[in-house]
Amino acid sequence: MNAIHIEGLRKSYGREEVLRGVNLDVREGEFYALMGPNGSGKTTLLSILASTLLPSSGTIEIYGRKPQQARELVGYVPQSNFTIPNLTGRENLIYFASVLGYSRSESARLADDLLEKVGLSADAKKRVSAYSGGMRKRLEAATALFPGIKVMLLDEPTTGLDPSARRMFLGLLQDLKGEATSILLVTHLGSDAEIASKVGLIDGGRMIAQGEPEELRALSGLRNVISIETAAKSQRAVEALKPFSENGRVLETDVGYRVYSRDQEKATPEIVRALDRAGARVVKVESATPSLEDVFFKMTGRSVSGSV
Amino acid sequence: MGQVTGGLERSAKELIRLKESLFWTIAWPSIWVLLSGAIFVKGIPEDVLPVVKGSMTVPMMVFALMIAGMSNLPATVSTDRERGTLAKLMSMPASPWRDFLGRVLGLLCFSALAVVLVGLVGYATGARFRLSAAEVLLALGFLLVGFTASAGIGSVIASLVKNVQGAIMTGVGLSVITAAISGVMAPYSALPASLQSFARIYPISSVNSAIIYVLFGEEYSGYTPLTVAQVASTVATSIGILAVGIILYTKIAWRRR
């Protein structure tokens, strides 16, 4: 059974079309990651599912119902920090439980259960303003875990988190994987999307491809990637790397570049020499498994993190 | 528990813990009570001084209501909008009407606390009030009418002004200006004729005059605001403003684009 069914979804703001006929299905219990760069329409899609935005046209169903009629099934976690900083974590959950119609005692019991589930029991009585980014995000995820919620919608939940908090949050999502809750996560980070059972790639308001991570890697034709870490990045270095990469495309990362070459053994020493000639000091060169960011880059020619 | 009581609890706690709302709603009017009790009483005979101080305390209690409704309410709503709390609520099976009711009841609790504290500051500086049961009940009734009008204006601001700073500045600005020109911050008798007319129409200043009239007499209110026509007009206008505020809040603040 499909938890989410989207067919021909379009959304325009004035003359600008943000979603251009998106089709997407999330099966019951599935963890689906929708990956795309900023401005690709993924947050708009999530907002429509959360019924905070209305679609221009298309079919959108959550368990066979229109989003506004299925709000009790949806746990939406917007990208912004929506919890109330002057209340404690427990008070926040009690408030959101009350909005769902739970009694005072039920709300308190649920709040305690959920705080334990997301690992915040010890900080239940601290005001949210004293929480770290990771703690706050886990609290926000807890608001999407009340009983009866069958679809969890997460908008860029790891943005702004430090690596440790990010790993902890992704661990929480992995724990939820396989439970009855279906998860739709939107992200521009390939590493976040890797933990999903199915991934959709979206660009310019259109779905580019969808499937399991391995299927997408196979679909892209990428086998190996040369990952290069440099002391500094420059346009000269990019130009020096272009001849070594398929279609002349070089993905720029936080620490350097990724090059898609068929013959890595031959290319690697030549790449080091070329970068040396271009004045770029090479810190590390290694062969890497293609990431979903590589797949996206290969398919669209655009970086999903927008750093090219 | 339900959305209304949950919203009430949340709103009251949030306002009580927010330094800005504590300052503008409680500390600022209290400072004015202290200042006016020290500065504007020179030459006033000792026997009437407590009543004069009382008549200067009441406007600050009313002003606390104005700030609570016209600034704190829009501030919390626009903060909810900016930080995504409103989007979260819209994604839940929440009712905008119940959300509004919870917010306003929480604000009412906070306003009541503010009015009592400002009144106590006045009392501590020597202000005295006529406190028979009937007069207290009448004064409380008028305070409730004043709260209704303030919350109504605040709801309109909350619906129309989207950003937090804009909402706060509009609320504080409107409170200070209307208080200044309608006889809340200056004696009614000192106002020019055109502003005296405004003071009778503007529900909050009408409430202020009515309370002063009830507790201290016409000598201090400057006119007789307790006529059937003026009371009916004040109550009707206050309810009307609140009704407009509720409609705008549910239709604009909760609008799905």
- Using CA atoms of B83, B86, B91, B95 in order, give the dihedral in degrees to the nearest 10: 160
Cβ-in-10-Å burial (0-12, 13-18, 19+) of A12 comes to middle
CB pairs under 8 A between A and B: 96
CB contact residues (below 8 A), chain B span 12-31, against chain A: 13-14, 17-18
Quote the CA–CA distance of B249 and B242 in Å, as a whole number: 10
Regarding predicted confidence, which is higher, A215 or A306?
Answer: A215
Residue A281 φ/ψ, nearest 5 degrees: -80, 125
Q: How buried is A64 (Cβ within 10 angstroms: 0-12 exposed, 13-18 middle, 19+ buried)?
A: exposed
φ, ψ at A103 (rounded to 5°): -75, 170
In angstroms, the separation between the Cα of residue A180 and the nearest Cα of chain B is 19
Under 8 Å CB-to-CB from B21, ≥6 apart: which residues? B15, B68, B72, B75, B110
Taking only the tens place, the pLDDT of each residue in A267-293 is 899 999 999 999 988 999 998 889 999
Q: Measured between alpha carbons, how far is residue A64 from residues A2, A70, A77, A151, B61 in Å? A: 8, 9, 22, 13, 54
Question: Are the Cβ atoms of A72 and B93 closer than 8 angstroms?
Answer: yes
Mean per-residue pLDDT, A40-48: 96
Phi then psi dihedrals of residue B87, to 5 deg: -65, -40
The CA–CA distances, whole Å, from A120 to A97, A130, B149 equal 17, 13, 42
Q: Sort residue A14 into left (φ over 0), alpha (ψ -120 to 50) or beta.
A: left
Structure tokens at A148: 């009866």
Asked if A52 lies within 8 A of B17 by C-beta distance, the reply is: no
A84 → closest Cβ in B10, B91, B94? B10
A98-102, A168-172, B94-98: range with lowest mean pLDDT: A168-172
Mean pLDDT of chain A: 92
Query: B71 — alpha (psi -120 to 50), left (phi > 0) or beta?
Result: alpha
Cβ(A240)–Cβ(A272) under 8 Å? no
- The first and second tokens of residue B35, run together, are 């200042």
d(CA A226, CA A244): 10
Q: How far is CA B125 from the centre of its chain?
A: 22
CA dist B95 and B86 (Å) reads 12
Fold match flag (A2-217 vs A223-289): no
Put simply, the answer to whether A99 touches B92 (Cβ < 8 Å) is yes
- pLDDT-derived band at A307 (thresholds 50, 70, 90) equals very low
Q: Do A198 and A32 form a contact (C-beta atoms < 8 A)?
A: yes
DSSP state of A183: E
Residue of A nearest to B95 (CA): A99
Question: Hey, how many other C-beta atoms are within 10 angstroms of the C-beta on A39?
Answer: 13
Instruction: Give B148 to chain A, closest Cα distance, Å.
Output: 24
Radius of gyration of the CA atoms of chain A, in A: 22
User: What ipTM was reported for this prediction?
Assistant: 0.90
pLDDT confidence tier of residue A308, bands split at 50, 70 and 90: very low
CA distance B148 to B112: 13
Please tell me the distance in Å from B20's CA to the nearest CA on chain A.
12
Inter-axis angle of helices A133-142 and A89-99, to 10 degrees?
30
Q: What is the DSSP string of A12-34?
A: EETTEEEEEEEEEEEETT-EEEE
The upper half-sphere exposure of residue A114, i.e. CA atoms within 13 Å in the direction of its Cβ, equals 25
Taking CB atoms and an 8 Å limit, are A101 and B93 in contact across chains? yes
Q: Do A98 and B17 touch (CB under 8 A)?
A: no
- Side chain identity, residue B13: K
pLDDT per position as a tens digit, A57-84: 999 999 999 999 999 999 999 999 999 9
Q: First CA to last CA across chain B, in angstroms? A: 31
**pTM score:** 0.88
Residue A267 or residue A207, greater confidence: A207
Domain A2-217 has CATH 3.40.50.300: yes
The CA R_g of chain B, rounded to the nearest whole Å, is 18
Task: Name the closest residue on chain A to residue B16, using Cα atoms.
Answer: A86
d(CA B126, CA B168): 33
Q: What angle is formed at CA B20 by the lines to CA B18 and CA B24, rounded to 5 degrees?
A: 125
* Interstrand relation of A74-77 and A2-13 (parallel, antiparallel or unpaired): unpaired
Q: What pLDDT score was predicted for residue A95? A: 97
- Spatial neighbors of A217 by CB under 8 A, at least 6 apart, are A290, A292, A295
What pLDDT does residue B236 have? Answer: 98
Task: Report B:126-165 residues touching A (Cβ under 8 A).
Answer: none
Contacts of B7 in chain A (CB under 8 A): 95, 98-99
> For every one of its 257 residues, what pLDDT tens digit does chain B have, with 9 covering 90 and above?
689 999 999 999 999 999 999 999 999 999 999 998 888 878 888 889 999 999 999 999 999 999 999 999 999 999 999 999 999 999 999 999 999 999 999 999 999 999 999 999 999 999 998 778 899 999 999 999 999 999 999 999 999 998 999 999 999 999 999 999 998 888 898 999 999 999 999 999 999 999 999 999 999 999 999 999 999 999 999 999 999 999 999 999 998 88
The pLDDT, as a whole number, for residue A74 is: 96
Is 70 exceeded by the pLDDT of residue A306? Answer: no
Return the pLDDT at A180: 65
Tell me the shortest Cα–Cα distance from A136 to chain B, in angstroms.
Answer: 13
Task: Render pLDDT for B219-243 as a digit per residue (tens, 0 to 9).
Answer: 999 999 999 999 999 999 999 999 9
Predicted pLDDT of residue A23: 97
Q: Which CATH architecture has domain A223-289?
A: 2-Layer Sandwich (3.30)
The helix/strand/coil state of B1 is: coil
The residue behind tokens 């004729």 is B193
Instruction: For chain A, give every domain's residue range.
Output: 2-217, 223-289
